[in-house]
Amino acid sequence: MTFKEGLIKARSHIIFIIGLIVGFSIVITLSKWDIEKEIREKAMVKIEKTADINPAPSSSLTDKEKKWAKVAWKYFEINYIPETGMVNSVDKYKASTMWDTASYMIALISAKRLGIIDDTKFDLRLSKLLDTLGRIPLFDNALPNKSYNTITLDMVDYNNKKTKRGIGWSAIDIGRLLVPFNIIVWNYPSYSKKIARILKRWQFDKMVKDGQLFGAGVDSKGKTVYLQEGRLGYEEYGAKSLLLMGYDLSVAMNYKDFLSYVDIYGIKVPYDSRSPEKYHAHNYVVSEPYILDGIEFGWDLISKEFAYRVYKAQEERFKHTGILTAVSEDNIDRAPYFVYNTLFTDGKPWNCITATGENASEFRSISTKAVFGWYVLYRTEYTKKLIDKIEKLFDPKRGWYSGLYEKDKKPNKAITCNTNGIILESLCYKNYGKHVNIY
């Protein structure tokens, strides 16, 4: 087939993709016009202006960075389930969420681009996974359940216990999964039909309503309940990939509705003003959504500014206390096994809590994935200090540990899909730039 014949055959797909991009660009442009002036008037702060805080340019990986990427890929070698194409969310734990599945898919793409795996392995793994995603049972026959057993593909709860109906879906997790789907459709179009078959089964109209994202759960009477999902940072990040599909996420993408600021070491850090008491969800300010927005989408005007403030406040904490700081949510290697290390939540700066809001300050730590994300985005003297601190924080046969505890300076030896996936996509970003070209 000639190049011309190929273009003719693919013309409907090309027109569809162009339509999505044009629509998305219009939405983003209008939102910028509306929000930029208000934010600048509401929160002038004495830090670098947006024009002066562009991310560092792409550059080839050093030999040491290539080694780091190969260590991260080790996780996906030992936690791969060949029968289903899935990868465990935590080392040896046979379950995964859609968020972790997305992290694995972007890690797979990054490993191919960085030359860690060859085309044959890439094709085998990606084809198997897409086939699996095309046949997994769905919650209420509508959307992917929050968690699946990676071997049986049964819908399970967060303790990996089988549940026939499922426990609901996460709109943010599904939004993240659409990021690698977009990368694949653009860069590896031979897999587009498999992705189309997956998406055809999913009822997005149940998840996207009135311009917002809605997750689903099951109440005590077994009834499906729908709750608005996402807070500042994660809400906008989760909405972007759905915007690419042409859905109205105008409310979710509107940064200003619940926008407030807290002064942390002279930095006006943005946070979501919705209280957990009223809205039944915590408003964590963490690194991860801003890092992912930067390395995957390249930031919009506002997330670029907010990301810098989130980063800068952590650098300022080091300057004032001598404590190296890079915080995000993470699995930990002891009970309660998952905590949110935050810049700000529930009215307190540098608060560390569990998912239910209980104090977990003894588990405050440097997050390995946050270190790598800030390191590739800014490459400042401070991010160099961070990477030097954690550069040996791995098991060469299993992957990177999740972090380093502040209290006793010991490693947090939880090894996860998300940490190792974000490390791989961060290093791929350093070498090639953002993963999705939408701006």
Taking residues 178-195, what's their average pLDDT? 96
Q: Is residue 359 part of a domain?
A: yes
* CATH code of the domain containing 179: 1.50.10.140
User: Quick one: pLDDT at residue 245?
Assistant: 86
For residue 406, the SS3 value is coil
Residue 36 confidence (pLDDT) above 60: no
pLDDT band, residue 52 (cuts 50/70/90): low
Please give the DSSP secondary-structure letter assigned to residue 92.
Answer: T
User: Quick one: pLDDT at residue 23?
Assistant: 46
Report the distance separating Cα 70 and Cα 65, nearest Å. Answer: 9
User: Under 8 Å CB-to-CB from 12, ≥6 apart: which residues?
Assistant: none
User: Quick one: pLDDT at residue 37?
Assistant: 52
Give the tens place of pLDDT for each residue, 324-336.
999 999 999 999 9
The structure's pTM equals 0.90
Q: Is residue 437 part of a domain?
A: no
Q: Is residue 25 part of a domain?
A: yes
Give the tens place of pLDDT for each residue, 82-126.
999 999 999 999 999 999 999 999 999 999 999 999 999 999 999
Structure tokens at 153: 């593909």
Position with higher pLDDT, 379 vs 50 = 379
Q: Is residue 399 part of a domain?
A: yes
Q: Is residue 338 part of a domain?
A: yes
Least confident window among 262-271, 353-362, 429-438: 429-438
Residue 125 structural domain? 3-432
Question: What do you get for the CA distance between the two ends of the chain, in Å?
Answer: 32
Q: Is residue 438 part of a domain?
A: no
The overall average pLDDT reported for the chain is 90
Residue 256 confidence (pLDDT) above 80: yes
Identify the helix (H) or strand (E) that includes residue 237: helix 234-243
Give the long-range contacts of residues 391-399, CB within 8 A, separation 24 or more.
391/64, 391/68, 393/368, 394/71, 395/74, 396/71, 396/74, 397/74, 397/78, 398/74, 398/75, 398/78, 398/91, 399/71, 399/72, 399/74, 399/75, 399/78, 399/91
pLDDT band, residue 55 (cuts 50/70/90): confident
User: Quick one: pLDDT at residue 33?
Assistant: 43
Structure tokens at 9: 């055959």
User: Quick one: pLDDT at residue 28?
Assistant: 44
Taking residues 339-368, what's their average pLDDT? 96
Dmax (CA) of the chain: 64
Number of structural domains, the chain?
1
Q: Is residue 61 part of a domain?
A: yes
Position with higher pLDDT, 429 vs 244 = 429
